[in-house]
Amino acid sequence: MGSRIIGTGRAVPPVSFSNQDLERQLDTSDEWIRSRTGISSRYLMRTGESLLDIATEASRHALDKAGIKAGELDAIIAGTVSSEYAFPSFACQVQRTLGVTSIPAFDVAAACSGFVFALSVADNSMRAGVWKKVLVIGADALSTMVDWGDRRTAVLFGDGAGAAVMVSEPGPRGVLETLLRSAGEAWDLLSLRATGVRASADSEWRRDVADTLKMRGPELFKIAVKSMADITRQVVERAGFTLADVRVVIPHQANIRILNAVADRLGLPYDKVFVNLERYGNTSAASVPIALDEALEAGRFGDNDLVLLNACGGGLTWGASLLRW
Ligand code: UT7
């Protein structure tokens, strides 16, 4: 028994902020942001908006496309580090907004790798026969946690949510192989001391600077390239394929220079890598499921194609999953 994604969905806050918008409040430039990251705009939560609403909308889209009612789900797993509450989990909050009772709902905290980690938890449980229908969510709002005076981090992140409905199936389609890794010794390369407090780009008050997102970007850059390339090669080999067999790579969207460097290391043509970060920025755990949903909608892959998901983020964490669509 294995598991297969049968519906995906995405949602973002209503307002997109361009690099020019950020130029007005930070010592930065459209030229720097585009050339160093590939980002042109990002959707940012404004004061009073709720990531829970956004994740619920993405989940409803995924359920609709799957043709499954929320009440049929056996579990909800959310990859997120952005819950407004230390507890209950974000997944429990989504459970309530979806109106589902009596099923397990919990979060997986793996920062930008959150969706890939959550997908693996769902897949393994379904392989073990524990659940038959699972909603997996990736949702984050890191823009509400950055220091809006720090141009090194504030320009990078966007907010949003993506979701996938998975069902257990005997194969041959579905999740073929997943590999996950963490390097706790390097946790201080990307961290956030406290959660729960929102300080959106438009809010008047600010988080205490000590409680904002901290990132050692250049060091993280090198590790992200090596780890995403290595885990991608390993997961494909373990599944008994070569990279040439893969139709499309759907990576975590942190920086176009990271994506190109990973492709160079793997000898992958750039057009095999799906990129949408120019419009979303780095949406952390939401980036892979948002990109998956968009790539599917754009016809970048179809039934029986091999699709590779990979991600790297705070923890450090990284992982990759090979799917036969
Ligand atoms: O999602 C989890 C995984 N995330 C990542 O893997 C992120 C990895 N890191 C990166 O993507 C890149 O390191 C960044 C995009 C974060 C930074 O790019 P960089 O080319 O490594 O820049 P840098 O931090 O080395 O800074 C170079 C210069 C500095 O100026 P000086 O000190 O050389 O005069 C910065 O002050 O660029 C300056 N700078 C900016 N200038 C204008 C940094 N941010 C900005 C900015 N606007 N927003």
Report the separation in Å between the CA atom of 200 and the middle of ligand 1, taken as the mean of its atom positions: 21
Atom of ligand 1 nearest to the CA of 287: 1
Catalytic residue among 19, 112, 255, 312, which? 112
Q: Tell how strand 214-215 and strand 16-18 pair up.
A: unpaired
Handedness of CA 29, 154, 108, 82 (dihedral sign): negative
Secondary structure (3-state) at 78: strand
Q: Compute CA distances 16 → 38, 42, 235, 297, whole Å.
A: 16, 5, 35, 21
- Report whether residue 60 contacts ligand 1, using a CB cutoff of 6 Å: no
Check pocket membership of 19 for ligand 1, CB cut-off 6 A: no
Decide whether any atom of ligand 1 lies within 6 Å of the 155 Cβ: yes
Question: Nearest to residue 17, comparing CAs of 208, 198, 148?
Answer: 148
Q: State the pLDDT confidence band at 202, using cuts at 50, 70 and 90.
A: confident
Domains, the chain, ranges and CATH?
A: 1-325 (3.40.47.10)
Structure token digits, residue 171: 């194969």
Write out the two tokens for 246: 């893969």
pLDDT, averaged across the chain: 96
**325, containing H or E segment:** none
Question: Is 282 annotated as catalytic?
Answer: yes
Residue 253 near ligand 1, beta carbon < 6 Å: no
In angstroms, the Cα distances linking 307 to 106, 248, 301 are 26, 5, 8
Block residue for tokens 């942190």: 254
> Count of residues for the chain?
325
Type of residue found at 258: I
pLDDT of residue 206: 83
61 carries an active-site annotation = no
pLDDT in tens, 210-221: 999 999 999 999
pTM, entire model: 0.97
pLDDT-derived band of residue 196, with 50, 70 and 90 as boundaries? low
- Please give the number of the atom of ligand 1 that sits closest to the Cα of 254: 1
CA distances from 128 to 1, 3, 169, 176 (A): 8, 10, 12, 15
**Residues β-bridged to residue 43:** 16
325 and 305 Cβ atoms separated by less than 8 Å: yes
pLDDT digits (tens, 9 = 90+) for 288-321: 999 999 999 999 999 999 999 999 999 999 999 9
Q: Given pLDDT bands bounded at 50, 70 and 90, which one contains residue 203?
A: confident
Lowest mean pLDDT segment, chosen from 14-18, 205-209, 288-292: 205-209
Would residue 112 show up in a list of annotated catalytic residues for this protein? Answer: yes
